[in-house]
Amino acid sequence: NGIWVQAQSRDQTRLALKRFSFAGEWLETPLVEQHTTWVNLHDNLKFVPDSKDFLWTSERDGHQHLYLYHAGRAVQLTEGTGRVNAIVHVEAACAMVLGWRDAATEQHLFRVWFDGREVEKLSDEAGWHDVVISPNGRHWVDRLTSLSQPPGLSLRSFQDGTDAALAPNTLVEGHPYHGFLDAHVAPQLGTLDAEDGQELHFRLTLPVEFDPNRRHPVLVNVYGGPGVQRVRNAWAPLTLQLFARAGIAIFELDNRGGSNRAKAFEDPLHGRLGEVEVTDQLRGVDYLRSLDWVDAGRIGVFGHSYGGYLTLLCLARGEGVFRCGVSQAPVTDWRLYDSHYTERYLGMPDANPEGYAASNVIDQLEGIEGALLVIHGMADDNVLFAHSTLLFKALQDRHKRFEMMTYPGAKHSLQERNVAIHRYQTILDFLRRELIQ
């Protein structure tokens, strides 16, 4: 009983779970999480029915695992190199969780018993599962997607294993996308190693008219920021097909700092942003240049938000490997961005001035090579338009030629219908001039 609160220190290295009475009186602090870099927030506090016990996930051993708190003691229920992402259902003797055990590119449903029995994997099909379980625990709705299958819904039974399609979304005749399948290119997944030996995952989408005996241009589509995983066994955004039909291969690499991996995979961002991310993206470019069909003189980089930030840094530090870049809604000075987000990784500005300076794009523009297109919504309430006006002025002061497209009234996503159409037309026109020809 009571109100449960997660209280975080300003430097985000300490998190305390506290319980208060409904009158606001502090009652107890059942647990404290601490880390030398930062403690990730989550919503994985769940209570065991008809009990004082509760469930919690923690990265205290380097991987996010499930813990049962019983009689003031924490019992670790999962272990290994996998990860528990979400607790979706709790019963008296077990919990249902979403996460992965063998491959971070897939998500599955597992049953975790409180008495130490072996963890059961309940979803068999390869791909990415998101699940909603009925309150009585008898059925579950499975939203499954894979590289070859857009998200579909099915109703499944825990009792007899029956499976009823609700909205299968299979690409059969009559499906809205069926007529486009002849030109659809299924992405491929692969891996390469970072300089510290950690495994990096990538997704590669070939051009529609791919010929292994010809050389093709490649667009490195980058996000690279914390809290995001792009490379998954899941249906990919159709924008990749747009570029593939234009004759461009699209390469996406989840660099160190991304989510759904071990804490050690995220932590290299601590104290300085834009360092290991660019190093890993350039390692991906080295891999591309080793492929016979890649035209090493026609490699571009494209990104939005954090990806727009990394696009600028890739052009600045790439030493000419990128022929062009498209930077959308980029962060250019972290002192102007969301404090809670920024301080998690860089700390307080007065405590880490060197890290803020090293992460600033503006001071690194001298090295920019290749054609550049900058796009930003003028009503962006996430990455303020001021980031790009600072960039425009700094590029002009350094006599750097660039193109820009701004959208009055458009916010951060730039997905308003007319904005999106015009934006992709602008990007494709730029790429045809600077990368494809």
pLDDT in tens, 249-289: 999 999 999 999 999 999 999 999 999 999 999 999 999 99
Asked whether the beta carbons of 44 and 87 are under 8 A apart, the reply is yes
Which residue from 87, 79, 14 is spatially nearest to 55, judged by alpha carbons? 87
Q: Which fold has domain 3-122?
A: Neuraminidase (2.120.10)
Write down the CATH superfamily of domain 179-436: Alpha/Beta hydrolase fold, catalytic domain (3.40.50.1820)
How far apart, in whole angstroms, are the C-alpha atoms of residue 196 and residue 123?
33
Does the pLDDT of residue 162 top 90, yes or no?
Answer: no
Predicted local confidence at residue 268, as pLDDT = 98
Q: Which stretches of 47-191 are DSSP H helices?
A: none
As annotated, the active-site residues are 305, 380, 412
How far apart, in whole angstroms, are the C-alpha atoms of residue 217 and residue 430?
14
Domain regions of the chain by residue span: 3-122, 179-436
Amino acid at 295: D
How far apart, in whole angstroms, are the C-alpha atoms of residue 360 and residue 375?
19
C-alpha 99: how far from chain center: 15
pLDDT in tens, 76-93: 999 999 999 999 999 999
Asked whether the beta carbons of 107 and 101 are under 8 A apart, the reply is no
Predicted local confidence at residue 195, as pLDDT = 96
What is the secondary structure of 231-245 as a DSSP string? Answer: --SSPPPTHHHHHHH
How far apart, in whole angstroms, are the C-alpha atoms of residue 327 and residue 114?
49
Please name the residues in contact with 81: beta carbons below 8 A apart, sequence gap of 6 or more. 63, 262
Which residue from 126, 129, 258, 273 is spatially nearest to 201, judged by alpha carbons? 258
Predicted local confidence at residue 275, as pLDDT = 98
> Which pLDDT band, with edges at 50, 70 and 90, does 377 fall under?
very high
Mean pLDDT of 12-31: 97
Mean pLDDT, the chain, rounded, equals 97
Secondary structure (3-state) at 357 = helix
Predicted local confidence at residue 338, as pLDDT = 97
Tokens for 431? 């790429």
pLDDT in tens, 297-339: 999 999 999 999 999 999 999 999 999 999 999 999 999 999 9
Amino acid at 334: W
Does the pLDDT of residue 122 top 90, yes or no?
Answer: yes
C-alpha 87: how far from chain center: 20
CA distances from 341 to 38, 267, 334, 335 (A): 11, 14, 10, 11
CA distances from 314 to 28, 127, 248, 342, 412 (A): 49, 31, 19, 20, 22
Sheet of 83-90, strands arranged across? 83-90, 94-100, 108-113, 120-121
